[in-house]
Each structure stands twice: as structure tokens, then as C-alpha cells.
Amino acid sequence: MNGIEKQIKNATEHIALTDTEKRVMRERLVSYMAYKPIRTSAAQRSGYRRHHPVLSFFRAAHLSGALVIALVVTSSTFGVSLAATNALPGDILYPVKVNINEEVKSALLTSDKDRIEWDRQRAELRLSEASQLAAEGRLNPARQEEVSRRFAQHTEAVVNSVLAVEKKDPVLAAEVSTEFEASLDTHEAVLARLIVEQNDIPDEGARDLVEQVRSAALEAGKIREDAEEKIAVNQTEDTKQVDTVDGTQDVADDTEDTAPKDSANLRERAVYQVQERATANLKEAETRLAALDAESELTSQATAQIASGKALMEEGAKDIDTHQLADAYGAYRRAAAAFQKVAQLLQMAVLFSIEIYPDVVSTTSEDVATGTNTTVGDEGTYDETTLMSMRDQAQAAIQETQTLLLTQEGYEKDVVSRANSLLKDAAANVLRGEIAMVLGENKDASKRFDTAHSHALRAKDILTTASERDTDVTGVTIDTPSEPDAASTTEGTTTAPVFTLVHSYATGTHTYTGEVTVENPCSDVVATSSVASSSPEEITLMLTTATSSDNGVTCTPEATSRPFSVSAAAAEDAVLAEVTLDGTPRTWDVVALATTTELLGEDVNTPADDSPSLLRRAIETTEDLLHQ
């Protein structure tokens, strides 16, 4: 042992690059390698190219001379390929990204796992690019075509390599395909949502892309099931074997046979890995959630989702305790997938400012452990007619809520955005349901339509509760009462009928007169008003139907008109901000009744489609009021 050497070593050991420095340096070198790849063909070794590697690189990429100069001047050594990492299909540097940067990385990976993982990431990268383009409104058919082609290529690579390792390592195959499946699901949701959001995207191609993603997810799902079968997590044999542990006699018999032992080992490994993944995914989902604003609909849904994922994990832990490895695997797998989706959706929310809500995970273990027989039975109930009516129902609910949102003023910004997000999510789910139907995935389609329906209803709920709570709206910009949106009401939906109010103003008092249809002759209408002291002042009319408690009178249900008149003390420029009937915001039309002269001369702006009786009664009531 050499004293000096040892002493010097000990004294200097602590001098090293930090992990970050090392990582940054390594990344730069990898980029540099991508930017200046080793070419082995004889042509590339010609003297000219040797002395101008940068030029030859650009010539290879078919760029114009002027551009080459511009890029050489403006980019640092690593600049080009680094810049390329953010390129999107159709961008000049996109070929650099996919053909050079990414290929170099592929070439450098040696293990099966790394390579599959990278192909998977590349497939997902293509979808992220499509989403980015869609979000920017730049997803034209040519770009979509490019994305589709490359996505198909990478997906095929993933599928092939997973199939290749499946026999050797079914646990890896199951893991990769589970993750792929879950993230394809997310990407599908994001794309569908962005299509819904950007109406100017040519629908056909974009829809095709969503369909392609769905098909890939289905394929990944099938591979996962196959792999799981190989691990035998899906087989009841597992429970049998566990049972024999208690009956000590059988254990010896079982251990002689090596095959079940192997598969038991596989199962243990699979459970262990999926458990680790679930924990890691949970951590990521929680980190992402913590970074978000605590108040949104998305965070509350994500929180709920994380909670049910945790419940699944607990279930899994119990299953492990009772040696129900198959159930444990199923529970952990679904928990892991749920967390993964939450994390991805939260990420997307930040990237594209869109809120997509995670699908509800069931905490019962039906879809994993019980095998295929129940699913077949279920599939039968989702015939096309049922699905179509589910679709229509969801669509109707969306339109109804949309109408509510469009025609009603005075909601708080927060309420509007929450309802809007839910509605868009519902619409995206309808789109996904339709696509699932095209693919013959009827069960899936029904789930989508169901989600769409419930989201639309939830949005409606939010709007209704909001208007109940905030009758005294202040600080919200109120336009003059809007015309009901013709486009959204003509679709044959069950829109709340429009009120016609006759309005007059005299010496500090606004008077509104109209009539309400009640369900039976015993019901009456009580009208009250409130005035918010904003500028201009805002008047809210609250109409409440009340059934008189006169016993002995039989009230046969029969729609009856009840007139009402209500006045509010406010300045002349006050506006009517809201009209509610039993707490529900309603849309209205105002007929101005400016002066008594006009009124007497019956020179009134007659609403085109209104009944004369209503108007007459309104005028009479107004006259009464004026004469008091």
C-alpha cells in the first residue's frame, strides 16, 4: 500500500462533479452526439465533409442556404438539436428531432426494458405533439397524417418487442402494457377534448387519430391480459393453491411440481412490482395535485380519485395478507393505473389549460378477478339502440345545460368555468363514446355516454345551486338581458320556457309584470324582488310557486296561468339581472312599456309570438299600479 497515494486520494476524493452538473453535461453530450452523429459511409468521409461537419449536417437535412447561415450564427454548439427537441410536426427542425435526436437515443439503449420504454415514450410523444398542435389550432390533415404514421410505427415497435419478451418476462410485458394502456387512455381523452374545444380542426382526421389511439389502447389491453394470464394472476388456480396451504398434507404434493411454484414466484414478483408502481404513481399524483389550485373541480375529482386508489391499495394489502395474490395484483394494478391517469391529467391541465376528469375507478374487484364470462353477458345488453338513446340523452343534457349557461347572466366566473369544463368534458366523452361504438366497444361506449350524462348533469347542478346561493350578485359584469341563443334552443331540447316580462318605470320604481304557468289551480305565485347596489343597479326577481293549503279542495293537476306583478325601487338605469322561479334561473324577454300614452294608444312593442291575453292582462295590471 502506498502511503502517499492513499493520502492524496483520501484528501481529494470529495472533489467531484455534482450529480446535477454531471447530468447536465451528459445531456448536452447526448444532444451533441445527436447533432453530430457518427456516419460511417465512405461518402461522409470525404475531405470536404470532414472539415465541415456542421454544413454537411444541414445539407443532409435539406435546408436552404440562408437558413443554414441563420442557424449557424444564432445557435450555440448544442443549440440546434436542443431547439429541435421542442419541434412539432411541420416545423423545420422536426425531422432533426425524430430522425436524429430520437434515433440516436434508440441506438444507445441496450436492455429490452429500456428500449420498449423508449418506444412507448416515443409513441406518447407523438400524441403529445398532436395535442400541442390541436391546442394551437395547427393540427391540419398533413400534420395529423404525419403524427398518425409515426405513432403507428412506434406502437408497432412497442407491441412487437412486448410480444417478444412476453414469454421470457411476462411481468415486464404486463407492466409495460398496463402503463401504455393507461397513458393511451389519457391521450385519447386529451385529444378528444381538444377536438371538442377547437371546432376549426378538420374533424375527420382528428377523429381518426382518436380512433387510432383507442385501438392501440385496446391492443395494449389485450397484451396485458395475455401477459397476466401467463403470470397466472387471472387464474383461480391461485386461490386453490392458497387453500392447500392450510391443508398441510397437500403442500408437499404441490412443491414437487415445479410449474406452479414458478408461476407462484412470477405472481409474487408481479404483485411486488405493481405495488411499487402504485406507490410511485401515487406519489407523483399527489405531488402534481399539491402544485395546483386547491379550489377547482379537477382537484376535487382528482382528490376523490386518489382516495379511491388508496382504498384499492389497502384492499390489495389485505389480499396479500390473506395470500390472495391474484386479487392483490388486480387491486394494485387498478390503483397504479388510476394514479397514473390522475398524474397525467393534472399534467395536461397545466400544459393545455384543460380540465379532464378521471374516470371513476370502481373499488370492487369485478373486472379483474372474475374473468370473462360476466363481461360477455354484459356486452349483450349494450345493443346499438340502447347506446344511441344513451348518447341522445347525454347530448340532450349537455345542450340543456349549455343553454342555461349561455342564456343566463350573472354567474360567478368560477361557476361558469367549472360548468364549462364539465360540459366540454361531457362533450369529449360523447365523442369518445361514438368512437368506441365505431370500434364495436359497446361496453366502453356505454360507460362514456354515462360519464357524459353525469358530467352534464353535474354542470347543471352547479349552475342551479350557484343561482340559488347568489341572488344578490355583485361585481359581475351584467349585460342587458340576453336573447336566448337561437341555435341552442331549437334542437328540440327541453329548455325552460322563456318568460315575457312587461317592464315599466315611473319615479324611481321599476315594475315587471308577467305570468307563470303553475301545475294546478291551487298553486299561486309570490313574486319578490331585490336590488343589488352595483352600478348600474341590478334587479333580481324571485318567483315562488306556493300551493295554498285549503283542505277539501281537490287540485287536479292542470296547468294554469298565474299573473304576477312586482316592483323594485331603483334608479332608472337599473338593469334586470336575474329571474328565478323556485330558485332556478330562468330566461326572459323584456317588453318595454315606456309611457302611459303609448300604453293607452296600444302602441306597444308586441312580442311576436306571445299570446294577446298575457299582454292585455299585463297592461291592465300596470294601469292599476300606475293609478294607485
**Positions that interact with other proteins (CB under 8 A):** 2-5, 7-12, 15-17, 21-22, 25-26, 28-30, 32-33, 36-40, 44-45, 50, 53, 77, 104, 107-108, 110
Tell me the DSSP string of 292-316: S-TTSHHHHHHHHHHHHHHHHHHHH
Least distance (Å) between residue 5 CB and other proteins: 5
Task: Please tell me the distance from the alpha carbon of residue 99 to that of residue 117, in angstroms, as a whole number.
Answer: 18
Residue nearer to other proteins on the CB measure, 37 or 484: 37
**Given strand 560-569, what is the order of strands in its sheet?**
560-569, 509-518, 499-506, 588-592
Residue nearer to other proteins on the CB measure, 32 or 94: 32
Residue nearer to other proteins on the CB measure, 19 or 257: 19
Residue 538, phi then psi, degrees to nearest 5? -120, 130
Least distance (Å) between residue 14 CB and other proteins: 9
Least distance (Å) between residue 23 CB and other proteins: 11
103: nearest Cα among 158, 33, 152: 33
Least distance (Å) between residue 36 CB and other proteins: 5
Cβ atoms 279, 285 nearer than 8 A: no
Residue nearer to other proteins on the CB measure, 36 or 310: 36
Least distance (Å) between residue 122 CB and other proteins: 18
Residue nearer to other proteins on the CB measure, 25 or 350: 25
Residue nearer to other proteins on the CB measure, 49 or 323: 49
Least distance (Å) between residue 57 CB and other proteins: 10
Residue nearer to other proteins on the CB measure, 53 or 563: 53
Residue nearer to other proteins on the CB measure, 16 or 608: 16
Least distance (Å) between residue 6 CB and other proteins: 9
Query: CA 385, 390, 395, 397: dihedral to nearest 10 degrees?
Result: 140
Residue nearer to other proteins on the CB measure, 53 or 221: 53
Task: Please tell me the distance from the alpha carbon of residue 563 to that of residue 501, in angstroms, as a whole number.
Answer: 11
Least distance (Å) between residue 7 CB and other proteins: 4
Residue nearer to other proteins on the CB measure, 43 or 486: 43
Q: Residue 572 has which C-alpha cell?
A: 332608472
Least distance (Å) between residue 152 CB and other proteins: 27
Cβ atoms 390, 446 nearer than 8 A: yes
Residue nearer to other proteins on the CB measure, 9 or 149: 9
Task: Please tell me the distance from the alpha carbon of residue 429 to that of residue 451, in angstroms, as a whole number.
Answer: 7
Task: Please tell me the distance from the alpha carbon of residue 317 to that of residue 417, in angstroms, as a whole number.
Answer: 39
Least distance (Å) between residue 12 CB and other proteins: 6
Cβ atoms 593, 548 nearer than 8 A: no
Task: Please tell me the distance from the alpha carbon of residue 352 to that of residue 40, in angstroms, as a whole number.
Answer: 42
Task: Please tell me the distance from the alpha carbon of residue 487 to that of residue 469, in angstroms, as a whole number.
Answer: 29
Task: Please tell me the distance from the alpha carbon of residue 342 to that of residue 155, in angstroms, as a whole number.
Answer: 23
Task: Please tell me the distance from the alpha carbon of residue 233 to that of residue 242, in angstroms, as a whole number.
Answer: 13
Least distance (Å) between residue 180 CB and other proteins: 26
Count of CB atoms situated within 10 Å of the CB of 44: 14
Count of CB atoms situated within 10 Å of the CB of 261: 13
Cβ atoms 484, 540 nearer than 8 A: no
Type of residue found at 128: S
Task: Please tell me the distance from the alpha carbon of residue 53 to that of residue 35, in angstroms, as a whole number.
Answer: 10
